[in-house]
Amino acid sequence: MFNMMKTAILMAAITALFMAIGGMIGGSSGMMLALVVAVGMNFFSYWFSDKMVLKMYNAREVDETSAPRFYAMVKDLAQRAQLPMPRVYLIDEAAPNAFATGRNPEHAAVAATTGIVNVLTDRELRGVMAHELAHVKHRDILISTISATMAGAISMLANFAMFFGGRDSEGRPSNPIAGIATAILAPLAASLIQMAISRAREFEADRGGAEICGDPQALASALEKIHRHAQGLPMSAAEAHPETAQMMIINPLSGDGLRSLFSTHPPMQERVARLRAMSSHT
């Protein structure tokens, strides 16, 4: 219940930020328009965000005929987690990664890159897919996709404010310096909100995934291995749509410095350490 309340507060913060930028562009009428757009986007995200994200990554759906071992693995884990069978996708991408999406457990999908399937052992891959099914079980997937959609819209709206200016509450042209500041700070604020939503949920999905597969060491080993293999292998779709990075099991974005400082994922060493501690207590 506490996590649901915290998530609701954070999503309200994203909506408020969207309204604030709308207010800067068009005054009070712009703020109201932004609220209407935000509500509409949340409605759209609820029904269609999973299809949109899967299309961004050129994911192809597979079944027991086209990917028998992988499909059977997900099916077995879904049964262990007492979840409906999700749709299963593969992404033809060398960078090792995976994510889950969908509005609820009855309409969920899990996707993995061909890179992660090739790099990991079956035992390690089970740990990864169990992590994604834990996101489904915890109902994280809807929040992840909605926050990704809203964060992308905030960046677009902030850039619009910088290039086309805006109006204050009296309808007068706003300060151009404020427009530039908004273009820089608004996406940063959206990233901070996404980070707050995502980091705690990754730890919970690690724990839940370890319980589903019954093998914390397998997930710990998988995280270490994909972290090593991902170095120098950027995901082009993630780089083009950085707001979707928080959906992945590891951060798919290249670059250090400020970008890594505001990563939506917790430090890999801490995730692995927590899983190793789980293993020692079982």
- Write out pLDDT tens, residues 63-87: 999 999 999 999 999 999 999 999 9
Distance CA 17, CA 184 (A): 13
pLDDT of residue 173: 47
Q: For the beta carbon of residue 58, count every other beta carbon within 10 angstroms.
A: 12
pLDDT at residue 237 tops 50: yes
Tokens of 67: 């990917």
Residue of 64, 93, 106, 132 marked active site: 132
pLDDT at residue 257 tops 50: no
The residue to which tokens 């609220």 are assigned: 35
Distance CA 150, CA 159 (A): 14
Distance CA 109, CA 119 (A): 22
pLDDT at residue 2 tops 50: no
pLDDT of residue 139: 85
Question: pTM for this one?
Answer: 0.78
pLDDT of residue 261: 46
pLDDT of residue 21: 74
Give the gyration radius of the chain's Cα atoms: 20
Burial level of 97, CB count in 10 A (0-12/13-18/19+)? buried
> Do 115 and 94 touch, CB atoms closer than 8 A?
yes
Tokens of 207: 């724990």
pLDDT of residue 245: 83
pLDDT of residue 258: 45
- The pairing of strands 108-113 and 98-102 is antiparallel
> Do 123 and 218 touch, CB atoms closer than 8 A?
yes
Alpha helices in the chain (DSSP H): 2-56, 68-80, 114-119, 122-137, 140-164, 176-213, 216-230, 236-240, 258-261, 268-280
pLDDT bucket at 100, cuts 50 / 70 / 90: very high
pLDDT at residue 272 tops 90: yes
pLDDT at residue 59 tops 60: yes
Mean pLDDT of 206-228: 96
pLDDT bucket at 242, cuts 50 / 70 / 90: confident
Name the residue ranges covered by the structural domains of the chain. 2-280
pLDDT of residue 231: 86
The mean pLDDT value of the chain amounts to 81
pLDDT of residue 57: 95
Q: For the beta carbon of residue 147, count every other beta carbon within 10 angstroms.
A: 26
Nearest C-alpha neighbor of 131 from the set 271, 249, 258: 249
Phi, psi (deg, nearest 5) at residue 62:
-125, 165
- Write out pLDDT tens, residues 115-149: 999 999 999 999 999 999 999 998 887 777 666 66
Q: How far is CA 103 from CA 49, 109, 126, 145, 195, in A?
A: 8, 9, 23, 9, 20
> Do 86 and 110 touch, CB atoms closer than 8 A?
yes
pLDDT at residue 23 tops 60: yes
- Is 132 an active-site residue? yes
Nearest C-alpha neighbor of 268 from the set 231, 240, 242, 241: 231
Distance CA 185, CA 181 (A): 6
Mean pLDDT of 265-269: 89
